[in-house]
Amino acid sequence: MKLIDLITLNKQLLTVQSRVIFIILIAMTLIASIPLNPHRQTVEKKQLKININKANIETLKTLPYIGEERAKLIIQIRESKGYFISFEELKFIPNFDRVEPYIKLED
């Protein structure tokens, strides 16, 4: 192979690599901009707190860090033992310290 052929081949490979990297960067940017659950409305701290003793699954799922499985678990425990009286009873919820600002125990 001639040196000119190698240089041309190298330029073509660099162009292909640059395009692949560019496409990957665009894809990563698009993925990062997509909300985790675009249909989920979350409760903001400024809004009224949710009464965890009366909320249904759909309402509980609006809380940050509470998905469907944790919402079901909260309701199952509430139905089996009765209303939660203190926040200590809710420490089983992962990231509870982050959820606590959004909930209350009574109206």
- Taking CA atoms, 68 is separated from 57, 72, 103, in Å, by 7, 6, 16
Contacts of range 89-98, beta carbons closer than 8 Å, 24 or more positions apart: 90/52, 93/65, 93/66, 94/65, 94/70, 95/65, 98/64, 98/65
pLDDT tens digits along 7-61: 676 677 677 677 667 566 666 666 666 555 544 555 555 467 999 999 999 999 9
**Does residue 68 surpass a pLDDT of 80?**
yes
What is residue 47's predicted lDDT score, i.e. its pLDDT?
A: 62
